[in-house]
């Protein structure tokens, strides 16, 4: 939950630290928001495996490691 309005950036990276997608890069109001990770990038489907996402919202930053299964 976003406690106050802030610039929110949510990016997904491959295991090789290459940026795969930007899910969000905009100012958001306080509240609960979601980003959708479409695994089809430019007409091709991303391979199953480990990816990383980085969320920055105001002064808050978090990184997590989701696994894409098929």
Q: What pLDDT is recorded for position 33? A: 87
Please name the residues in contact with 56: beta carbons below 8 A apart, sequence gap of 6 or more: 7, 8, 9, 10
20-42 burial, b for 16+ CB within 10 Å, e for fewer?
Answer: bbebbeeeeeeeeeeeeeeeeee
DSSP state for residue 47 in the 8-state scheme: P
Q: What pLDDT is recorded for position 42? A: 66
Output the CA angle 57-19-30, nearest 5 degrees: 15
pLDDT tens by residue, 11-54: 999 999 999 888 899 999 999 988 777 787 666 788 888 999 99
């Amino acid at each position: 939950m976003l406690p106050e309005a802030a610039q929110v950036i949510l990016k997904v990276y491959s295991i090789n630290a290459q940026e795969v997608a930007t899910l969000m890069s905009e100012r958001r109001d306080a509240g609960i928001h979601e980003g959708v990770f479409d695994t089809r990038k430019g007409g091709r489907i991303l391979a199953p495996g480990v990816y990383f996402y980085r969320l920055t919202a105001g002064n808050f930053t978090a990184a997590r490691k989701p696994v894409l299964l098929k």
